[in-house]
Amino acid sequence: MPFSLANELMAYWYFGQVWCGVYLALDVLFCTSSIVHLCAISLDRYWSVTQAVEYNLKRTPRRVKATIVAVWLISAVISFPPLVSLYRQPDGAAYPQCGLNDETWYILSSCIGSFFAPCLIMVLVYARIYRAREKRFTFVLAVVMGVFVLCWFPFFFSYSLYGICREACQVPDPLFKFFFWIGYCNSSLNPVIYTVFNQDFRRSFKHILFRRRRRGFRQ
């Protein structure tokens, strides 16, 4: 976010071409990871509801760690193309720019992998939990899903439209930047939502925080 903010305020890329590639890859990686983690959490909630006994026996620390690693690997695969296929500077540009590849194949593949596919999975999982009539989990997922869609859908929808029909469907640049920054807000809202509406997450956060505090006192 600091580099994104600097790029917005200065209206050009100050940090060089090499860091541009690293920055873009990390930016897509962290945003995609946040979304894919939400998808994994929704699947975890679904299996906890529909297969409570069997799934709790299978949910060992090793499998949880393997799932987290898998989420990061999937996110890395989606975010890798910016390093090998960067945005080309237009001829005669007065100031250096740093942007993602604007070819149609990359725009559509990144939108599908980073948003539309995880969103579809989350909607299907939400529907299954709703059918199971687990109102407590349904409400939490409804809030998470609603905030997730409100934050990310405007950006990915307008971005994918630009990839399909270019300038004919392009939204004004200030509005597109607004959609982009609203998407960032989703990552800061998720911990609040889960700790407020989910007792398991609240208990886990307290356990982590108090354990670290005790270690600090001992040192």
**Is pLDDT larger for residue 69 or for residue 43?**
69
Q: How far is CA 53 from CA 45, 48, 138, in A?
A: 13, 8, 20
Residue 92 burial (10 A CB sphere; 0-12, 13-18, 19+): exposed
How does residue 88 score in pLDDT terms, banded at 50, 70 and 90? low
- Residue type for position 182: I
CATH for the stretch 2-218: 1.20.1070.10
- What percent of the chain shows pLDDT beyond 90? 2
Long-range CB contact pairs, 98-101, < 8 A, 24+: 98/7, 98/13, 98/15, 98/20, 98/23, 98/24, 99/24, 100/24, 100/28
- What mean pLDDT, rounded, does the chain reach? 78
Least confidently predicted of 17-26, 111-120, 175-184, 203-212: 203-212
pLDDT of residue 41: 82
Poorest-pLDDT segment among 46-55, 108-117, 126-135, 155-164 = 126-135
Per the CB < 8 A criterion, the answer to whether 191 and 34 are in contact is no
> Euclidean distance between the first and final Cα of the chain, in Å?
33
135-165 and 173-197 helices cross at what angle (nearest 10)?
A: 160
- Mean pLDDT over residues 116-128, rounded? 86
What pLDDT does 217 receive?
47
If you ran DSSP here, which 8-state letter would residue 115 be given?
A: I
Q: Predicted confidence band at 98 (pLDDT cuts at 50, 70, 90)? A: confident
The residue type found at 73 is: L
- Which range scores top for mean pLDDT: 61-65, 151-155, 168-172? 151-155
Spatial contact of 13 and 20, defined as CB atoms under 8 Å apart = yes
